[in-house]
Every structure is written in structure tokens, then in C-alpha cells.
Amino acid sequence: MSRIESWGRTPQVQHRDIVNLQWRDALPDIGGMSETVLPFGNGRSYGDSCLNDGGVLLRTLAMNHLISIDEEALLVRCESGITFAELLSVLVPRGLFVPVTPGTKMLTVGGAIANDVHGKNHHSAGTFGCHVTRFELYRSDGTVKMCSPAENPELFSATIGGLGLTGLITWAEFTVIRIPSAFIRQENFRFANIDEYLATSREHDAVFPYVVSWIDCSVRGKGLGRGIYMGGSFTPVERDAFNEPPVRTRSLPVEMPSWFLNTLTVRLFNFGFYHKQWRRHSRFRVHYNPFFYPLDAIHGWNKLYGRAGFYQYQCVVPYATAPQALHELLRTTAKSGKASFLAVLKNFGAMSSPGMLSFPAEGVTLSMDFRNEGGATLKLMNELDTIVRSAGGRLYPAKDARMSKDHFLSSNPRWDEFRKWIDPRFSSTFYRRMAD
Amino acid sequence: MATSLAIIGATSAIAQEVARIHASRGASLFVTARSPEKCAIIKADLLARGARQVDTAVFDAQTDFNTRDIVREIAAAQPECCAILIAHGVLSDNTLCAGDEHRAVSDFTINATSVIAVCTQAARWYESHTFPSTPCIAVISSVAGDRGRGSNYYYGAAKGAVTIFLQGLRNRLFKKGIHVVTIKPGFVDTPMTAHIPKNPLFASPQNVARAIVRAMERGTDVVYVPGFWRYVMLIIRLIPERVFKRLGL
């Protein structure tokens, strides 16, 4: 707990100080601090966007009070340090759910806004930021700014997806949705290659509010990009609709040796995952936890990659260039032999994000994990960058520790507009990489 | 299960988690804190989590125990409330206390004297009334009160005083059917200990809170959280003083 690291565990940096926030009525004087600050929630960003090397982190995890839940208007107001896990433990028993959730519930509400997170329902609901109605921003000059589409709209738009650089979100208000139960009716479709994926998603994306696809990127040739398309929707059940079945969580108390995930084990895992789905199509019911948060069942799974940590690579490419770009990305990855243990595909919808720097854009997003093996891993990702750039795509800052400044600036046309809203006393390792 | 619970010092991370468990079950709560702003933050949080009713009082244990009967105030707001958790306290800086006797005494007042005062008020009220369920007085003491150690004996002495006081109170109230629960947490990862580097011995406030709720429901006399501290402290208590004084603890 004492050493602060991001989820990918690389880079390892030293902070001057960690300030724990607990009460929004007694916030520290940021302007009086000698170093720059950055809000830090629960450390689920993968790279360096949540780190502030040599500076101060404002930890928000203990600032986690609910303010109100309006079940009529479907509005929740809470402090920024509360995690989705805590929030869901209060919402689900009342038949409510967060409007958008990423693949972990261990993130905080502040982190969800700062990274304008997306989830399995991006094609039907947009990003989390699309559902934020207002929030309060504490700036280093000691002022407090109310932000909404009507009040301080530019600051509102800069802060959503603003990587924590525009000030400290003390509390936020967002809409929630009604659910008929805590269970999902899930349908799986197996696809044999990337072209079949594109056809399957074209056919079924309109049917399911929640969709994600897992792909096996260790296979080359005809089966390149084979995988399983998983669609789901909340479904009514006869009884115990909102009961929490006991969740068996395991934890990984020690980091695994770095060879643990090697080409062979990754291939075995992927082979098993693909062939477990022995029918082309299956249909079943699951609780929302395994559907949305399969990895949360293993605490500290990031230690699977050993001491040196890992990189996550998430890009989005427009539909027009996607078929060719995905082929090339997967071929390059498979050929490198550094096949990702977890690779995920998803189509982003047309709904635009309110944030100036929001990552999602209409197109296909691919995300892969790579164990940090130094130069060879960086070289592979640079090759992938070339493909993404020529396809007109971009990378997700929340998952990045190495993208080039050039690529970031050219793929984020609103960067100059965004910079005007940065709080002068806020900074991050990622920001300095892009701005200096 | 208590349908009504009072908490003195509700801003402590552990106390907040205890309150949240009760709130999620629809209980009524009476909470005290030093500032009206924090009272309001806690009240909104507990109501949003499902508490039936939340009353608050601004109460500074260091001074107010002298002039106010806080238990009477609780009884006036929630007459059925017969469970109280006393959770306020400061983690004394031993070096500062050793150099400043005023600070040492003032910390002792918060950690011990005021706790004894509030327990006395609660005992008086619970003894003289009949309640639908078994009354319970629970106090967060500490493993630090089990033996004086060179590095934190100011804090330890106050917690030790509380532990011994509760032994006597339990002994007297047993015949009247009133539970007295002594809670002895080890290291807990809270803002109180934010400056201490963390190790695997640290427990989360949520886990400590669950143990406290269980102990109060069952009327457990003394509970160490996490449980392994019972054995750690047993060993520490068994070391002869002749040896103990030489150890750097």
C-alpha cells in the first residue's frame, strides 16, 4: 500500500509526498505546496497518467461519502474517491446500476471522469462522461468551480477525460439506470477470424446493449483474430433478483516470476478459452460480476507479469480503415511471439464524448497486454503505432506509458484548447511527457 | 442486531464503516463529530446508504465531556437506542508527549478520561431503564494498551486505562444484563496511520468494522481484530519485564 504504482507497474517513480484526502470541507492548500499535485484514486490507470514523479499525489480513496441518491430522477451525487464497487453495493440492491462501467469496479468515480472511461455498452450509451450532469472542481487558487453543461461548460468539457490536470473533483453527480435484476442474459458467438468478427458485430451489436469480444492473438494464418463475441443484457429473474451470490475472490499475494506468462502458457490459455466455447453459439445467464468484472475475482492479477510489470496497448481505428489495420496489428503481434494473454476487441458507437481529450471515437478498439521485456516490447509497440497512425487511429492515455508526443498531439486535435484549462499547480508524468 | 446505534467520534475511518454497515441494514444512528460540516457529510452519507434516521451532535470529547451528558442527548433523540460505540481518540506522538507534559495530559484526556466519562454516562442510563434488546457499550481500545512499550506508552497507557476500566465495568454490569465490549485493533490502514509505512499486518477499516459489528451483536467481551493479535499480544505479555526492558519495541 505504501509504494504507489500504476496498474501496469511500470514506470516506477518516486513521489515527494502522498496527501490523503478524507473530508471535502477541509482540503489542503494546494497553492502553498512547493511541488505540483495530481489527484490519485485507486491506481487502476495502467501507465503514467496517474503518476507525478517528484511531485505530490492527492489520494482521494478516503474521500468516499455519498451525498444523495434520487431514485425518482435516477441521479446519484457522491464524493470522487468512492469506488464503483462500493457504489454498486448500494445501488444494485435498489435495482439501480451505473450507466457505464469499465472492466474493473475497483476504480473511483473521480478516475472514471478524469479518463472518461468506456465499457461494454459504448455503442449504445457512450462514455461515462456522457452521463455526468455536474461536478465540483477544487482549484489550486482555493476557488471551487461548479461545472456542468450550463455552468463553466469549457471547464466541464476539459475535465471529462482531462487526466486529473484541471483540478480536484471533490464530488460529482451522474445519472444511473434501472435494472430488472442483477443478472445478465449472455450470448456467445464464436468467430474464426477477424473478418468473421466484423460480420458478427455488424449483425449483433444492435441487439445487445453490452458487447465485448475476446480474441486469441497467438494464432497466425487462417485463424488470425479468432475469438468469442460476448453479448449481454440485464434480464428479469423469478426471485432473489438483487441477491449477491457469494463471490469467490482469490488474491495473488506475491508477484509471479517473469517467465510465468510465456508463449506456451499464453497459447495454452488462449487455446482453452477458445475451445471451451465448443458450440458456435451459446446462451446462458450470469451474475453481473463475472460478466463485467471477470478479472476482479483475482486481486492483484497485475502481478502475474512479474517484477518488471507490463504495458497495455489500446488503440481505436476508424471503421473505414479497421479491417486492414486489425489484420496488420494482429499479424504483427502474432509474428512477434509476444502474444498477449488478454486481448479484447470492441466496436465504439457514434455517440460523441463530452470531453476534449476523451479517447473513444467511432471505430473498432483493440487492447492487448504485453509483459515488459524492455526494448523488444517497446519496438513491437512502435511497429503497432505505425499501423495505428496510418489508419488514422489513436491510443488511450489511461493505458499508456510510452506513446510518442507526436502521435498524441496529432491524434488529439483539441489539445491546444484543453491546455488553457489546466490548473497551473497540477501536473503528471504523462503530461510532462506530452508537453515538454 | 441493533436497530439503533450511537457512535461517539464518528469521523474515525473504522467508526464510519461500522455506521455504514448499520445504515445499509436500515438502522437509526446517532453520530457525533467535532465539526458541524463533518456531521452533515456523515449524515447525508448514511441516509443515502439506507439509514432510517440519522441524528447528529457536535461534540468535542476533549472538553465537552465535562459539561454535557452526551448519552442523555442521545436518549432524547432516540429513546430506544441502547447500543453505543465509543470510537474517538488520537494516536499520540510519543516523542512530542515525552517533551511536553501538557500535550501528554491533553492526549490522555481524549483517549482515556473522556472515554471513562461517556461510559459512566451510558452505564447510568442503561442501568436505570429497560430496553427491548440487550444494551451494549463498546469501546475501541487498542493492542497498544496490553503492554507499555518504549515507542508509544503515552497512547498505550491511555488505552490500557480504558481496557482495565472496561474490565471492571463489565464485571459490575454483567448481573444487569448489559454487554461491555472491548475492541482491540492492531494496525489499521486509516488516515490516523497514514504516515506509517504499510506492511501485511495492516487490516482494512472495512474488515475491522465487520468484526466490531459481529462482536457487538454477540456481546463478545474482548475482541482482537484481526484475531491473530490475541496470540501476538499473549506472547508480548508473557515476556518477563527483566527481558522486555532491553528490547527495542
Report the C-alpha gap between B223 and B229 in whole angstroms.
9
Contact B41 A65 (CB under 8 A): yes
Cα first-last separation, chain B: 39
Pick from B24, B38, B197: which is nearest to A2 by CB? Answer: B197
Q: Are B29 and B22 in contact (CB under 8 A)?
A: yes
Report the C-alpha gap between A11 and A432 in whole angstroms.
14
Q: Grid coordinates representing A176?
A: 444511473
**pLDDT for the residue numbered A107:** 98
Report the C-alpha gap between A51 and A173 in whole angstroms.
26
Q: 3-state SS string over A34-88? A: CCCEEEECCCCCCCCCCCCCCCEEEECCCCCCEEEEECCCCEEEEECCCEHHHHH
| Cis preceding-peptide flag for A397 (omega within 30 of 0) | no
CB within 8 A of B80, min separation 6: which ones? B3, B4, B131, B132
Contact A66 B49 (CB under 8 A): yes
Predicted confidence (pLDDT) at residue B1 exceeds the cutoff of 70: no
Cα A224 off chain centre by: 25
What is the overall mean pLDDT for chain B?
A: 95
Question: Which residues of chain B make contact with A22, given a CB cutoff of 8 A?
Answer: 13, 191
Q: Grid coordinates representing A383?
A: 511497429
Element (H, E) at A433: helix A429-435
Measure A94 CA to nearest chain B CA, in Å.
10
Q: Are A232 and A291 in contact (CB under 8 A)?
A: yes
Torsion angle of C-alpha atoms A255, A258, A263, A269, degrees rounded to 10: -10
**pLDDT for the residue numbered A1:** 37
Q: What ipTM describes this predicted complex?
A: 0.91
Pick from A20, A68, A78: which is nearest to B194 by CB? Answer: A20
- Cα nearest neighbour of B51 on chain A: A90
Predicted confidence (pLDDT) at residue B112 exceeds the cutoff of 90: yes
Report the C-alpha gap between A291 and B215 in whole angstroms.
35
Question: Which residues of chain A make contact with B43, given a CB cutoff of 8 A?
Answer: none
Report the C-alpha gap between A411 and A359 in whole angstroms.
10
Collapse the DSSP code of A340 into the 3-class scheme (helix H, G, I; strand E, B; otherwise coil) and give the result.
coil
**CA distances from residue A258 to A308, A379, B84, B181 in whole angstroms, order as listed:** 7, 19, 51, 48
Number of A/B CB contacts below 8 angstroms equals 43
Strands A298-299 and A363-371: unpaired
Element (H, E) at A407: helix A405-411
**pLDDT for the residue numbered A253:** 65
Contact A25 B41 (CB under 8 A): yes
**Residues lower than pLDDT 50 in chain A:** 1
Strands B222-225 and B179-185: parallel
Pick from B13, B24, B44: which is nearest to A62 by CB? Answer: B13
Pick from B24, B38, B44: which is nearest to A67 by CB? Answer: B44
Q: Grid coordinates representing B84?
A: 453505543
Hey, which bits of chain B come out as E strands?
4-8, 28-33, 53-58, 83-86, 136-140, 179-185, 222-225
Question: Which residues of chain A make contact with B49, given a CB cutoff of 8 A?
Answer: 66, 90
- CA B22-B23-B26 angle, to 5 degrees, is 95
Beta bridge mates, A283: A187
Nearest to A212 by CA among A101, A313, A300: A101
Collect all residues from B whose CB is shorter than 8 A from any CB in A: 11, 13, 24, 35, 37-38, 41-42, 44-45, 48-50, 189-191, 194, 197-198, 202
* Exposed/middle/buried for residue A178 (C-beta within 10 Å: 0-12, 13-18, 19+): exposed
pLDDT of B176-225, one tens digit each? 999 999 999 999 988 778 777 778 888 999 999 999 999 999 999 999 99
Contact A66 B198 (CB under 8 A): no
- Cα nearest neighbour of B25 on chain A: A90
| Residue A93 per-residue DSSP state | G
Nearest to B136 by CA among B94, B105, B169: B169
